[in-house]
Structure 1
Amino acid sequence: MTKKQKKQLGRILSAIAIFILSSLLLPGPGAKTAGYLVCYAVIGWDIVWKAVKNILNGQVFDENFLMTVATVGALCLGEYAEGVAVMLFYQVGELFQSYAVSRSRRSISSLMDIRPDYANLVRDGKTVRVDPEEVQAGDTIVIRAGERVPLDGVVTDGTSSLDTSALTGESMPRELAAGGEVISGCINQSGTLRVRVSKVYSESTVSKILDLVENAGSKKSKSEAFITRFARYYTPVVVIAAALLAVLPPLILGQGFSMWIERALTFLVISCPCALVISVPLSFFGGIGGASKCGVLIKGSNYLEALADTGTVVFDKTGTLTKGTFAVSGLYPEGITEEELLYLAACAEKDSGHPISRSIRTACGREPDGSRITEVNEIAGHGVAIVMDGKSVLAGNAKMMERENISFTPVNEPGTVIYVANGGKYAGAILIEDEIKDDAAFAIRDLKNSGVRKTVMLTGDADAVGRKVAEKLKLDEVYTELLPADKVSHMEELLKETGANGKLAFVGDGINDAPVLARADIGIAMGGLGSDAAIEAADVVIMTDEPSRIATAMRISRKTLRIVRQNIVFALGVKILVLILGALGFASMWAAVFADVGVSIIAILNAIRALNVPKQEEFSSCGETKVSGTTAAA
């Protein structure tokens, strides 16, 4: 509880004590009246003052005005206990509301508690603690065990493991050594690291994410926009209706004014729109916080609302459904073992920095013996020729085999094929492919189980490669060999097909898919740690790089919308019913208190449920499914 909330709680407890004293212990009506007025001054002075200030500023119709008119009117009619009680219960509701909002914000703040307090800057051989904003790109900082990484950079010395849970929601630490990239916002768990800063604080990952979360509330959903417009017109209408209720019936029916004024004041208390105005934005704020717990950053409640209505999901391939890294997927030796084939290729590719060469050396697992190699010749467009132990070793494409007149067995599989020859004799072939992400197949299945009607892949890769991936993942449609402009054209056609059947989401890596991300109803970027382009380009960022999180975000959005609709129907239903009863004289000021404060508290409690991530089936790294989440869906 904040200092302000504790102060408000003290006022409420003091007012309750004075109210009980006035009601039960003070003798005579004069003493009781004085006690009630003191109680009203203690508990209601700030509401009355806010109403006066707002009137002077031209903002007449708000909840402070409604409560002031209703309670002061009750006091003027001699209903001291009711007038004070209404203000007291209203303040109790305000305290509860403030606490609920604070709890919601704390949930996100603790989740996104990634803002660094300081950086250990190395200056003139000494380590100086400075504000992260003072550090420039190229400077060296020291990050000790237990400290938060203040800035993005590259490790120059030291090994450690990083806790990335604040960014990704994952508990598994990330191992780090010299040459590795560190991302601001993570926590250094073990060793001391020396890091060369690559970005100033304003351009760092932590700064961009904090800005994204802090500004998420500025992009309102249709439901929030409706409530804002509704409250703008609703309050003046009910004030006018209350005034008419106080004046017209006595004039028409010839009855006394006091009874109808009391009904009008009750009408005003009932009409206060707090439950709607607070609970609907709070529900969306909770949904965004719940998604953040799963490593999904949603840039506004409008995108959270759109996710619930997603009917078509379109994927890029490389970096989205696949890892964007090459790996050996097939070995076809002839006359030698698989290990020997890999070692020959690794020796030939020993000095190459190409991703394909690195994948071969990784698969080999043995460090090539450079002392055995006497000559290296890279042949552009063909491959590499070396001399090892006095023999010619070739590693390259089919053109190289044909160029050297070596008879070989073609490998007719999608992917990149490296043919190897040793001493002028064909030794076999190695198939290299971009690896499919571990959870990609589960992600597609989960999306379909979640109600997505169509899954599509748009890729610039060769047709055989694209279709092989699509077949493995059981996608509904695939379009291959596309240029960026072709992707936009296909997106336009898919948008026409989707039409009224929901929203279309495009999932890309946020680097080269900006035009398509912008054109889709919802742009989802597989952001990963530190991908600036992803954070900038998309409406939704999957910080874990796992496509399975998309269905998780959709479930959270649908739960949030259910809560929003429940609150709207409940709040309006109760208010309309009690308004009618109040106008007819069947609802007292106490019923009015429930219709305002009681409904608000119930709606806020319901809204807080959006913070809880439902238990659900998610992908496990072992290839099976698991149940995860923090709290079961209510």
Structure 2
Amino acid sequence: MNEINEVGNENVYRVEGFSCINCAGKFERNVKELPGVQDAKVNFGASKISVIGETTVEDLEKAGAFENLTIIPEKVAGQSAKVSNELKKEPKISFIKKHEELLFSALLIALGYTSTFLNGEDNLVTVLLFLSAIVIGGYSLFKVGIQNLFRLDFDMKTLMTVAIIGAAFIGEWAEGAVVVILFAISEALERYSMDRARNSIRSLMDIAPNEALIRRNGHEMLIDVESIAIGDIMIVKPGQKIAMDGVVVKGGSSVNQATITGESVPVSKSTNDEVFAGTLNEEGLLEVKVTKLVKDTTIAKIINLVEEAQAERAPSQAFIDKFAKYYTPIIMVIAALVAVIPPIFFDGSWESWLYQGLSVLVVGCPCALVISTPISIVSAIGNAAKKGVLIKGGIYLEEMGGLKAIAFDKTGTLTRGVPVVTDFEVVNNQVSKNEVLSIVASLEKRSGHPLASAITKKADELGIAYDLNVENFESITGKGIKGSINGTTYYVGSPNLFKEFTDIYSIKAKVAEIQSEGKTIMIVGTKTDILGFIAVADEVRDSSKVVIEKLHDLGIKKTVMLTGDNDLAARAIGAQVGVSEIQSELLPEDKLNSIKQLRSEYGRVAMVGDGVNDTPALAASTVGIAMGGAGTDTALETADVALMADDLEKLPFTIKLSRKALTIIKTNIAFAIGIKLLALLLVVPGWLTLWIAILSDMGATLLVSLNSMRLMIVKE
């Protein structure tokens, strides 16, 4: 672990031991000041730090010495399984060993109270027992707090240090010692809560096996996943987890893909089907050709993106961070005023009001406030990831809860995206059906349009060859395609394409009839003659209608279907699924304009698509949501939210989770501030004590943490 980064390179390290978000910020600042470090960024939610420049693990641990941080290099970017193993190899420290100073301090406090009962509170033995408890239990606190005080760096440890030293100064030895213990317990609660939230995501690291059975040169061998190369044949027995992404080359089985897609129903897999690392082979023996390196597998990308998502600060967290920056100095000023104004101007007791001022410092400790948002965000993102929804940042989690309108791409989103040919007619007697289909399939073979596969599949079924030589092939955006075969230029496209250069009156009635049935019609011909037409239908998903109903029930004001399909076909599909508005015959720029218009009307708008097409519309929306992120790199990279399964039913759950998170965050902030204000009001009659102050802070931290962790168990 003594490796050095090359200058300018970025390296990522796992950090063990963060107790609070302020400590993470201090560690980041310390690392930035290290010689050779150009920049550094801490991801508190994932407990990681990214460092650009030259440094060593020893230097990083020195920068984190104030918190006794442990640094572990993440040697393979995106490969969290290896990091998980390194973490497991770290020696497990027992609870007693980890908190022995705290336990010894508690014992001294108990002896101090015994001495108070026997000898009185001003007895030298009593004072020394409480003083020893303060020094031993608060050593790490004072070490940081006093340094911060000299640097005028006012954080919660500075507040507590001043309060405890002040309590000792006015002779409140017992209360000073108890404050040390209770603050340590509060920090432990905060650390425990954040670790629980992190573990909801870190458990993903253990999903994929670290070894796999590989066949090379006729020999089978069990090797580490990092040594597996693309093209290797992986043998997966029944009941085993699949270690790498790949394609089945032999065998058949059912595979449980819940870890990737959130769907518990196993999926049948056979030759040429894709399988993912971390999924469970339930029945048959599979031979899988590896298609991705371990760092590029879908599960590795999910873990990496989820951890990156925790570094993206939500608006509420940005507010809290800014608020806390000014909050602590203000509390110190208020505490000073409480301590000096009554004695100077109202003849109050110096000892009494100094005690009240110290209590204000303690009650002003912002633990509950600063932890309220991070735990909520990490808990919600972790829960979503386990259910097959990848949310790429706290900002998108919050935005999902405020959506007023949702736009859907039609093909592959509201429909299955697997079109089939339903009608095929030739209207020119000079050519046969087979000739026309051969021409169309030869052209469509060169097209990337989703409907092209339906036509080539139809030709395959009928045994018609479509290997004609096509020259000057061209895609006509939003309208169709053209190409020359044996010197003749043929067009395949929408009726609107042919209206530009010929009359389609002879088939107008038939076109209208087919379109009214929700089918897409493509005319085949030249600039002067229409040869025939082909109708293709895309089946509506079973879940689409139910999902749209659920969204309306959740209060989504408008659902819009955006499609390049003809108006009649679009309306037929739209009526089946129940969207509130249908916009048809749209070019990509038209969809972009539609999203802009929706945003001007409703503010927050989501666009749901396949993550590949309609990229401008996805980018222009408040939240871009991609369907079927599993195995689709583009969907994982371009979308703000990815539904890993090719299933819309995760959408209502995501909105519900987001709204729950927003409610909990707001409740936490209100409660954390409210409990402080309530405790501060006790200053007026002089009732605020150090006991009440620290208990209110610890209680608020505990309740805020428990409230946030409820997001880990929100169900679909």
TM-score, length of structure 1 as denominator length: 0.79
1:287 corresponds in structure 2 to 380
Query: Kindly tell me: are residues 379 and 464 of structure 1, through their superposed partners in 2, closer, same or farther at Cα, counting changes over 3 Å?
Result: farther
1:206 corresponds in structure 2 to 299
2:647 corresponds in structure 1 to 546
Match of 1:22 among 90, 105, 112: 112
1:495 corresponds in structure 2 to 599
Query: Kindly tell me: are residues 53 and 177 of structure 1, through their superposed partners in 2, closer, same or farther at Cα, counting changes over 3 Å?
Result: farther
The answer to whether the Cα contact below 8 Å between 2:257 and 2:263 also exists between their aligned partners in 1 is yes
The answer to whether the Cα contact below 8 Å between 2:277 and 2:299 also exists between their aligned partners in 1 is yes
Q: How does 1:22-61 map to 2 (within 5 A)?
A: 22-24=112-114, 27-28=118-119, 29-55=123-149, 58=151, 60-61=153-154
Shift of 1:136: 3.1
1:406 corresponds in structure 2 to none
- What do the CA deviations read for 1:562-601 (whole angstroms, capped 9, x no partner)? 1111111111111012113236522111111122111111
Query: Kindly tell me: are residues 321 and 267 of structure 1, through their superposed partners in 2, closer, same or farther at Cα, counting changes over 3 Å?
Result: same
The answer to whether the Cα contact below 8 Å between 2:628 and 2:644 also exists between their aligned partners in 1 is yes
Shift of 1:247: 2.9
Shift of 1:214: 0.5
- What do the CA deviations read for 1:73-92 (whole angstroms, capped 9, x no partner)? 11222111111111111111
Q: Are 2:356 and 1:356 aligned? A: no
Shift of 1:170: 1.7
Q: How does 1:617-632 map to 2 (within 5 A)?
A: 629=716
In structure 2, C-alpha distance between the alignment counterparts of 1:259 and 1:141, rounded to whole Å: 75
The answer to whether the Cα contact below 8 Å between 2:424 and 2:534 also exists between their aligned partners in 1 is yes
Q: Are 2:561 and 1:457 aligned? A: yes
Query: Kindly tell me: are residues 418 and 270 of structure 1, through their superposed partners in 2, closer, same or farther at Cα, counting changes over 3 Å?
Result: closer
Query: Kindly tell me: are residues 485 and 328 of structure 1, through their superposed partners in 2, closer, same or farther at Cα, counting changes over 3 Å?
Result: closer
Which deviates more from structure 2 when the two are superposed, residues 34-43 or residues 236-245? Answer: 34-43
Q: Are 2:545 and 1:447 aligned? A: no
Secondary structure of 1:196 counterpart = strand
In structure 1, C-alpha distance between the alignment counterparts of 2:380 and 2:293, rounded to whole Å: 31
1:524 corresponds in structure 2 to 625
Match of 2:612 among 511, 523, 533: 511
Query: Kindly tell me: are residues 456 and 237 of structure 1, through their superposed partners in 2, closer, same or farther at Cα, counting changes over 3 Å?
Result: same
1:220 corresponds in structure 2 to 313
Match of 1:175 among 247, 265, 268: 268
In structure 2, C-alpha distance between the alignment counterparts of 1:46 and 1:324, rounded to whole Å: 61
In structure 1, C-alpha distance between the alignment counterparts of 2:152 and 2:215, rounded to whole Å: 54
1:622 corresponds in structure 2 to none
1:387 corresponds in structure 2 to none
In structure 2, C-alpha distance between the alignment counterparts of 1:165 and 1:148, rounded to whole Å: 12
The answer to whether the Cα contact below 8 Å between 1:155 and 1:194 also exists between their aligned partners in 2 is yes
Q: How does 1:235-250 map to 2 (within 5 A)?
A: 235-250=328-343
Query: Kindly tell me: are residues 283 and 377 of structure 1, through their superposed partners in 2, closer, same or farther at Cα, counting changes over 3 Å?
Result: closer
1:140 corresponds in structure 2 to 233
Secondary structure of 2:404 counterpart = strand
Q: Are 2:574 and 1:470 aligned? A: yes
Query: Kindly tell me: are residues 359 and 323 of structure 1, through their superposed partners in 2, closer, same or farther at Cα, counting changes over 3 Å?
Result: farther
Secondary structure of 2:142 counterpart = helix
2:191 corresponds in structure 1 to 98
In structure 1, C-alpha distance between the alignment counterparts of 2:251 and 2:100, rounded to whole Å: 53
The answer to whether the Cα contact below 8 Å between 1:264 and 1:583 also exists between their aligned partners in 2 is no
Shift of 1:145: 3.8
Query: Kindly tell me: are residues 149 and 360 of structure 1, through their superposed partners in 2, closer, same or farther at Cα, counting changes over 3 Å?
Result: same
The answer to whether the Cα contact below 8 Å between 1:291 and 1:613 also exists between their aligned partners in 2 is no
Secondary structure of 1:206 counterpart = helix
TM-score, length of structure 2 as denominator length: 0.71
Which deviates more from structure 2 when the two are superposed, residues 3-12 or residues 449-458? Answer: 3-12
Q: Which amino acid aligns with 1:555?
A: K
In structure 1, C-alpha distance between the alignment counterparts of 2:400 and 2:522, rounded to whole Å: 43
Query: Kindly tell me: are residues 377 and 189 of structure 1, through their superposed partners in 2, closer, same or farther at Cα, counting changes over 3 Å?
Result: closer
Q: Are 2:600 and 1:600 aligned? A: no
- What do the CA deviations read for 1:382-417 (whole angstroms, capped 9, x no partner)? xxxxxxxxxxxxxxx99xxxxxxxxxx997333268
Which deviates more from structure 2 when the two are superposed, residues 221-230 or residues 98-107? Answer: 98-107
The answer to whether the Cα contact below 8 Å between 1:8 and 1:95 also exists between their aligned partners in 2 is no
In structure 2, C-alpha distance between the alignment counterparts of 1:329 and 1:293, rounded to whole Å: 40
In structure 1, C-alpha distance between the alignment counterparts of 2:107 and 2:459, rounded to whole Å: 79
- CA RMSD in angstroms, aligned pairs only: 3.3
The answer to whether the Cα contact below 8 Å between 1:263 and 1:583 also exists between their aligned partners in 2 is no
Query: Kindly tell me: are residues 272 and 256 of structure 1, through their superposed partners in 2, closer, same or farther at Cα, counting changes over 3 Å?
Result: same
The answer to whether the Cα contact below 8 Å between 1:5 and 1:99 also exists between their aligned partners in 2 is no
Shift of 1:155: 1.4
The answer to whether the Cα contact below 8 Å between 1:112 and 1:166 also exists between their aligned partners in 2 is no
Match of 2:673 among 563, 569, 572: 572
The answer to whether the Cα contact below 8 Å between 2:520 and 2:566 also exists between their aligned partners in 1 is no
Secondary structure of 1:435 counterpart = coil
Query: Kindly tell me: are residues 360 and 416 of structure 1, through their superposed partners in 2, closer, same or farther at Cα, counting changes over 3 Å?
Result: farther
Query: Kindly tell me: are residues 155 and 599 of structure 1, through their superposed partners in 2, closer, same or farther at Cα, counting changes over 3 Å?
Result: same
In structure 1, C-alpha distance between the alignment counterparts of 2:403 and 2:322, rounded to whole Å: 26
Q: How does 1:150-165 map to 2 (within 5 A)?
A: 150-165=243-258
Q: Which amino acid aligns with 1:518?
A: A
In structure 2, C-alpha distance between the alignment counterparts of 1:92 and 1:443, rounded to whole Å: 46
Match of 1:70 among 163, 167, 176: 163
The answer to whether the Cα contact below 8 Å between 2:423 and 2:535 also exists between their aligned partners in 1 is yes
Query: Kindly tell me: are residues 526 and 113 of structure 1, through their superposed partners in 2, closer, same or farther at Cα, counting changes over 3 Å?
Result: farther
- What do the CA deviations read for 1:444-502 (whole angstroms, capped 9, x no partner)? 11100001001111112233222211111121211222222221122222222224xxx
The answer to whether the Cα contact below 8 Å between 2:372 and 2:708 also exists between their aligned partners in 1 is yes
Which deviates more from structure 2 when the two are superposed, residues 61-70 or residues 1-10? Answer: 1-10
In structure 2, C-alpha distance between the alignment counterparts of 1:134 and 1:484, rounded to whole Å: 44
Please list every run of 5 or more consecutive structure 1 residues that lacks an aligned counterpart in the other structure.
333-344, 363-367, 382-396, 399-408, 420-428, 615-628, 630-634
Q: Are 2:583 and 1:479 aligned? A: yes
Q: Which amino acid aligns with 2:168?
A: L
Match of 2:405 among 298, 303, 312: 312
Shift of 1:537: 0.8
In structure 2, C-alpha distance between the alignment counterparts of 1:21 and 1:272, rounded to whole Å: 28
Secondary structure of 2:413 counterpart = coil
In structure 1, C-alpha distance between the alignment counterparts of 2:191 and 2:692, rounded to whole Å: 23
Which deviates more from structure 2 when the two are superposed, residues 214-223 or residues 189-198? Answer: 189-198
Query: Kindly tell me: are residues 15 and 127 of structure 1, through their superposed partners in 2, closer, same or farther at Cα, counting changes over 3 Å?
Result: farther
In structure 1, C-alpha distance between the alignment counterparts of 2:109 and 2:384, rounded to whole Å: 45
Which deviates more from structure 2 when the two are superposed, residues 534-543 or residues 276-285? Answer: 276-285
Shift of 1:227: 0.6
In structure 2, C-alpha distance between the alignment counterparts of 1:608 and 1:189, rounded to whole Å: 33
Secondary structure of 1:585 counterpart = coil
Query: Kindly tell me: are residues 314 and 418 of structure 1, through their superposed partners in 2, closer, same or farther at Cα, counting changes over 3 Å?
Result: closer
In structure 1, C-alpha distance between the alignment counterparts of 2:144 and 2:240, rounded to whole Å: 44
Query: Kindly tell me: are residues 218 and 40 of structure 1, through their superposed partners in 2, closer, same or farther at Cα, counting changes over 3 Å?
Result: same
Shift of 1:379: 10
In structure 2, C-alpha distance between the alignment counterparts of 1:325 and 1:67, rounded to whole Å: 64
Shift of 1:188: 2.6
Query: Kindly tell me: are residues 330 and 445 of structure 1, through their superposed partners in 2, closer, same or farther at Cα, counting changes over 3 Å?
Result: farther
In structure 1, C-alpha distance between the alignment counterparts of 2:464 and 2:395, rounded to whole Å: 58
In structure 2, C-alpha distance between the alignment counterparts of 1:111 and 1:211, rounded to whole Å: 10
Secondary structure of 1:215 counterpart = helix
Match of 1:196 among 268, 278, 289: 289
The answer to whether the Cα contact below 8 Å between 1:505 and 1:524 also exists between their aligned partners in 2 is yes
Which deviates more from structure 2 when the two are superposed, residues 98-107 or residues 449-458? Answer: 98-107
Q: Which amino acid aligns with 1:44?
A: G
Aligned length: 552
Secondary structure of 1:60 counterpart = coil
1:260 corresponds in structure 2 to 353
In structure 1, C-alpha distance between the alignment counterparts of 2:134 and 2:218, rounded to whole Å: 65
